[in-house]
Structure 1
């Protein structure tokens, strides 16, 4: 597939993240932040289960769980941290401000992971100009969010 298709998929993910944070914050105002975090995870688990069943993927690979390095399971813990932090920050500083901070930190972290080839990811060459890109992104975000 063309890399443009994957960029489009990634862009859809970004839009879904902003919408998800907004919806989770609205739910958190009603049920409480930790309760909404739990509800969102239960709904997500049920959704993933139904997709696996509907697509006929099956659970044949579940027996390979012991082959995975311990740190890959931290994704579940990080998911709880992410949802809590998004709900907490959006409620205090707004969707635009929170999402901007998320994106700047996300890109900086992603460049570090790419440059190190961390966690089994393909290593990409780091260029110092990437730091300029992050700085310009942060400056642009600040200009966008001037109060």
Structure 2
């Protein structure tokens, strides 16, 4: 099962590691500059970096107008995420905040998969998926318990 999916799963794990570091440095910037300004700075730097990647974009410019309205909301979600993370990490710590983030992500992702929302392939609930989410929730509870 993991054979062909190993590289994407490793890439996803790397993204998770980078997200934990990002949360910590965004929280640091929030402490120094204030959360609203830090959110702006993070997105300005991210926009500049993404601009450096544009020469490598392949043909998507001609089709971008065909995207449904909700495909344009990713930037708004990004601002909400950065703001929330920069606000909560200094109060609860990187590990507890990341644990809550991951649990929220997996619960929401399971619902998106089940209903095939936003054009995603439908992956219905199964006993194993529900059990996996339950174990993840139990693990989160253990990590958050003092």
Considering the TM-score relative to the shorter chain, is it more than 0.5? yes
SS at match of 1:126: coil
Q: What are the superposed Cα offsets for residues 54-88 of structure 1, whole Å, 9 maximum, x if unpaired?
A: x3x37x53243321100111111101001111111
1:6 — aligned with what?
A: 8
Whether contact under 8 Å (2:39, 2:82) holds in the other structure is yes
Count of aligned positions: 144
DSSP-derived class of the 1:119 partner: helix
Greater mean deviation of Cα atoms: 119-128 or 67-76: 119-128
Tell me the equivalent position of 1:70: 69
Partner in structure 2 of residue 131 of structure 1: 130
Unaligned runs of 5+ in 1: none
1:43 equivalent among 31, 42, 45: 45
Give the structure-2-normalised TM-score: 0.91
Distance 2:60 2:131 in 1: 42
Matches within 5 A, 1:72-111: 72-111=71-110
Q: How far, CA to CA, are the matches of 1:95 and 1:136 in structure 2?
A: 21
